[in-house]
Structure 1
Amino acid sequence: MTIDSDIMFETFLRMRAETVETRLRQLLGESPLSGEIARPGHLMAAMRHGVLNGGKRLRPFLVLESAALFDADGEAALRVATALECVHCYSLIHDDLPAMDDDDLRRGQPTVHKAFDEATAILAGDGLLTFAFDIIADEATPLPADRRAALVLALARAAGPGGMVGGQALDLDAEHNKPDETGIIKLQAMKTGALIRFACEAGAIVGGASADERERLAEFGSAIGLAFQLADDLLDLTADAETMGKATGKDAAAGKATLVSLHGPNWARSQLVGLVNQAHDLLEPFGERAIMLKAAASFVAERNS
C-alpha cells in the first residue's frame, strides 16, 4: 500500500473499531436481558476488561467489510461482528491463563487473571463465548432464522474442537512434540486462521451471497489468516514487548516450531507477498467494492504491532 492508502485504511479501521467497541459496551452492560436472572457486577467488569481494552478489531472489520460487498443489513453485520469479537477475546483471556501461555500483559494492560483472579478470568471467558451465540441467535439480529442458524453453526465449527480450540490443543502439544511443516500449517489454520476465515465467510452469509461467493470469501479469509500468523511469528521474533503490548520471544523460549523458525525471516517475508497477491486475486470479481478488504490483506502482512 502507498502512504496515502495506508492512512485511509487505518482511519477506516479505527472508525470501524470505535463502532464495534461502542456496541460491545452496550451489550456488556449491567442490566440483565429478558430471560436472564442477574448479571453479577464483578463478572461483567472482568468481561469488559477482557473486551474493552483497545485492539484493532480486525476480525469484526472483516465481517463488516465482507458483508458490505453484498449490501447486507448493517445492524445484522454489526451484531455478528461483535459476537465474533466476544469469541476472539474469550480465547485471549483463556490463552493468557497460567495453565496456558501464562501472560501478564495483553494490549498493554494487565491480563484478566492479573487484574481480577484466575477463577474470574475463566468465568469471564466462558461468559463471552456463550454470549456470542446469544447475540447471533437473538431476534434482535435482523436476519431470517435460517441465516442466523447458519452463522451459529459456522462460528461453532470455527471456534470449537475442529477449529480454534483444537488448534490451541495442538499448540500446547507442540511444546513437547514438535510438528513438521504440515503439522504447523494445520495448527495455525485452526488456532488463528479459523476465526479469520469465519469473519470473511460470515459477511457473505449475512449478505445472502451465493455458495460460490461464500467459498471465495472463505478462501480469502484462509489466505489472510495464514498471513496474519506468519506476520505474528515474525513480530514475536523481531519486535519488543512495548511495541506489541504483550510479551515477545515466547515461541523461541518455549521451543515451539513455527514456519519462521523452520525457514527463516526472509522466506516468511516472501511468503507474505505471495499470500497478499493470492488474497487480492480472490477479490477481483468484486471490483472496487473490495478495496478495503484488499487493504486489510496488505495491512495484515505488513503490520508492525
Structure 2
Amino acid sequence: MFDFDEMESQNLFLYLSLLVLSITFFFQNIKPRLGRFFQPSLETRAKAAILSRQEVAQFLDSPIVKEQEQEQEEGISPSSTFDFDPYMETKVELVNKALDEAIPVGEPLKIHEAMRYAVLAAGKRVRPILCLASCELVGGEENAAMPAACAVEMIHTMSLIKDDLPCMDNDDLRRGKPTTHKVYGEGVAILSGGALLSLAFEHMTTAEVSSEKMVWAVRELARSIGTRGLVAGQAKDISSEGLDLDEVGLEHLEFIHVHKTAVLLETAAVLGAIIGGGSNEEVERVRKFARCIGLLFQVVDDILDETKSSEELGKTAGKDQLVGKLTYPKLMGLEKSKEFVKRLTKDACEHLQGFSKEKVAPLVALTNFIANRNR
C-alpha cells in the first residue's frame, strides 16, 4: 500500500526544491536582463531632469550676480597637473583617424564623398571624446569604446545634415564650410545622412564587448534618436517657432533641448560607461552628469548665437532669432542665461563626486571647455 503521508512529504520537498531553483535562476539570469528592459524611458528621464532641479521660479526671480565666483567642491576640481589642451588634441586626432578609416571611399561614389565631407569637417568631437573619457572613468580601455564614439559622431553629423536642409533650418554654413546639401544637392545629402545612420549601428557592433553590453548599448543609442529622443526634440522645436513667450516656459524649452541636444551627449557618455564595464549605479551617475552638460552645451550655443558673428562661429549667426526659435536668452534674458551656465557647470561636476579624482579630471575639464567655448 502507498504511504500517502510519505508521498505528500516528498512532493512538498520537490516543490520547495523547484521553487528555490527557480528563484536562484531568476536572480542570476533573468533579473539583470529585465533591469535593462525596464530602465526609465527617455521621457521619464527627461521629466526627472526637470523636476529634480530647484524651483525654476526662484532661480528666475533671484537677482543677477554679474561677478559670481563658483567655488569648486572638494573632490570635483580638475587636477592642477591635468593639461586639457593636449588631451583634447590627442583625442580629436584619434577620433578623426578612426572616422576616416570607418568611411572609406567606395561606390556609390557621391554618397561616400558626401558622408566623408560632412563627418570629416573640423568638428569639436565633444561627443566621441565624452564617450572615450566616460569609458576610462569606469576603468575601461579607450580602444573598446572607439567604435561607439565614432557611431555617436556619425549620428550627430546625420542630424546636422538633416537640420541644415531647406525644409528644416535651411542653413548654408556648417563647421565653417558650405552645408552638405549646398555642395552635393538635397537628394545626395538626405541619402548620405541615412547611410551614416545605418553605418553608425553597424560600426558600433564591431566593439569587442559582451553581447549583453552590446544589446544594452544598441538599445540606448536607438532610443536616443527616435521619437523618445532626438526626433521628439526636433519636432517640438519646429512646432514652437514663433510662439509667444507667454505661451511657453522654461520646462517647454528644456524638453526641446533635453531631447534635441542633451540626449546625444548623454548617450555618448552612457555608451562609454556601459562598454567600459561600469556598474548600473556608475552608469546612472554618468548619465546625470552628461544630461547636465548636454543642457549646458545648448545654453552656451544659444548665447553664442546671439553674441558672436558667423565668421567666429563657423555657422550662420542670429538664425534662431530670425526664424523666431525659442532660446534661453529669449526666455530668460542674456545675463540670466549666463548664470544658468554656471549653475549647470556646478551641477554636472557634483554628479562626478565619488569617482577617482585622477580619472574624473578630463570630464571636469571637458565641462569647463563646453561652458567657456567661444564657437
Using structure 1 for the length normalisation, give the TM-score. 0.93
Structure number with bigger Rg: 2
| SS class of match (1:87) | helix
Q: Which letter does structure 2 place at the counterpart of 1:302?
A: N
- Mapped to 1, the partners of 2:80 and 2:242 lie a distance apart of 43
Conserved in 2, the CA contact under 8 Å of 1:73 and 1:142?
A: no
The count of residues paired between Structure 1 and Structure 2 equals 295
Structure 2 residue runs of 5 or longer lacking an equivalent are 1-71
- Mapped to 1, the partners of 2:312 and 2:130 lie a distance apart of 24
- Mapped to 2, the partners of 1:66 and 1:260 lie a distance apart of 31
- Mapped to 2, the partners of 1:231 and 1:215 lie a distance apart of 24
Q: Does 1:278 align with 2:353?
A: no
Show CA shifts across 1:107-144 (max 9, x none).
1111110111000000010000111000112xx31001
- Mapped to 1, the partners of 2:329 and 2:124 lie a distance apart of 24
Q: Does 1:207 align with 2:292?
A: no
- Mapped to 1, the partners of 2:234 and 2:199 lie a distance apart of 21
Q: Does 1:63 align with 2:131?
A: yes
Q: Which letter does structure 2 place at the counterpart of 1:265?
A: L
Conserved in 2, the CA contact under 8 Å of 1:107 and 1:246?
A: yes
Measured at CA, do residues 94 and 7 of structure 1 come closer, stay the same or move farther in structure 2, by a change above 3 Å? farther
Which residue of the partner structure matches residue 288 of structure 1? 358
Give 1:22-171 correspondences, 5 Å limit: 22-30=97-105, 39-137=107-205, 140-171=206-237
Give 1:251-262 correspondences, 5 Å limit: 251-262=320-331
Q: Percent identity?
A: 38
Q: Which letter does structure 1 place at the counterpart of 2:103?
A: L
Aligned-pair RMSD on alpha carbons? Answer: 1.8
- Mapped to 2, the partners of 1:66 and 1:175 lie a distance apart of 35
Which residue of the partner structure matches residue 193 of structure 1? 262
Post-superposition, which runs of at least 4 consecutive aligned residues in structure 1 deviate over 4 A?
Answer: 4-7
Shift in Å, 1:88: 0.3
Of structures 1 and 2, the one scoring higher in RCO (CA 8 A, sep 6+) is: 2
Q: Which letter does structure 1 place at the counterpart of 2:374?
A: N
Show CA shifts across 1:49-86 (max 9, x none).
11001111000000000000122132221111001100
- Mapped to 2, the partners of 1:243 and 1:7 lie a distance apart of 28
Measured at CA, do residues 6 and 128 of structure 1 come closer, stay the same or move farther in structure 2, by a change above 3 Å? farther
Conserved in 1, the CA contact under 8 Å of 2:82 and 2:361?
A: no
Conserved in 2, the CA contact under 8 Å of 1:28 and 1:48?
A: yes
- Mapped to 2, the partners of 1:92 and 1:103 lie a distance apart of 10
